[in-house]
Amino acid sequence: MIKSMTGYGIASFDSDSTKYTVEIKSLNSKFLELSLRLPKSFAEKEFQLRNECNKQIERGKVNLSINVEKANTTATAAGIDKDLLKHYFEQLKSVSIDLNEPSSNLLQLALGLPEVVKYVEETVSEEEWKIAEKTFQQALAAFQKFRSDEGNVLEQDVKYRIGIILKNLELVEVEEPKRIPIIKERLNQLLADAVGREIIDQNRFEQELIYFIDKLDITEEKIRLRTHCDYFIETLKNDDANGKKLGFISQEIGREINTLGSKANDATMQKTGGRHERRTGEN
């Protein structure tokens, strides 16, 4: 089963006070490159999210983002300790008078002193995490469906191309028996033109012809090519991720096609092999 490394999935959940949005997208990559963008309150959940992505995605350059929008933004806003701010301000004002220095920016200085501005530590409750995790799983399911749907299209395409290779291999097998008499006649004519037909040693000629034709034999290449094509289709059916294996088999298919074409010594067969090569190289 093929899954595309390009994928996209998004899911959201809107409660009375908070909206959760999870977005996952990926591009091609030889390995899993995972980038997470999370709210600070979800920092402790990063390891769990990474583990889940590692299990289900396996490969690709993946970006995962979780966005949390709260209706009441003041609930998590920073607070100011007014008493401490007044205390700092009065002290700064007193010092400025003693030193006869300007007092125009005393409030700004006081706000920057320790403990004046207090930030609420952001944490996520178990109930909030359950909602966010469920939204994440929905986005992940949509992401996987996107990859599977695109993978199905790719699978049909590569099956079609393997079918073309096998069909053209049958055409090669039809043309193959025709080339031996042509080669024999061509060599015989060359010898006749060079030394004269009447002095040709037919026994020696037949021996040399057998040796020459053996060099052009493509039986092994045909068997391997058909075996590689069958193995490619068989590998497509596996549930595991087999992109690297399919890539390797494709290389072997191309190698056998090239060897077959170079040994054919026949323009028609080489032209058919060229159609093989163009087809496999297009995807």
Q: Look up the CATH number of domain 7-74+125-145.
A: 3.30.230
pTM, rounded to two decimals: 0.64
Reported as a single tens digit per residue, the pLDDT across 248-280 is: 999 999 999 888 888 776 677 777 765 544 444
Q: Look at residue 233 in the predicted model and tell me its pLDDT.
A: 92
Reported as a single tens digit per residue, the pLDDT across 38-88 is: 988 888 899 999 999 998 888 889 999 999 887 765 555 566 778 887 888
Cβ neighbours for 99, distance < 8 A, ≥ 6 positions apart:
none
Quick one: average pLDDT of 106-124? 73
Q: What is the dihedral of CA 260, 262, 265, 270, to 10 degrees?
A: 70
| Residue that is written with structure tokens 């094509």 in the block | 229
Q: Look at residue 282 in the predicted model and tell me its pLDDT.
A: 40
Domain ranges across the chain: 7-74+125-145, 78-118, 150-282
- Please state the separation of Cα 88 from the chain's center in Å: 58
pLDDT-wise least confident of 5-9, 75-79, 113-117, 144-148: 75-79
Quick one: average pLDDT of 114-143? 83
Query: Over pLDDT 90: what percentage of the chain?
Result: 34
Cβ neighbours for 267, distance < 8 A, ≥ 6 positions apart:
none
Rounded to whole angstroms, how far apart are CA atoms 47 and 53? 10
| Residue that is written with structure tokens 């020696």 in the block | 204
Average pLDDT, the chain: 82
Structural element, H or E, at residue 130: helix 126-195
Could you tell me the strand order of the sheet in which 7-14 lies? 7-14, 18-27, 60-70, 32-37
* pLDDT reading at 213 higher than 80: no
Rounded to whole angstroms, how far apart are CA atoms 84 and 90? 10
Nearest to 28, CA basis, from 70, 61, 64: 61
Residue type (1 letter), 67: N
Phi, then psi, of 2 in degrees rounded to 5: -95, 135
Q: Are 63 and 35 in contact (CB under 8 A)?
A: yes
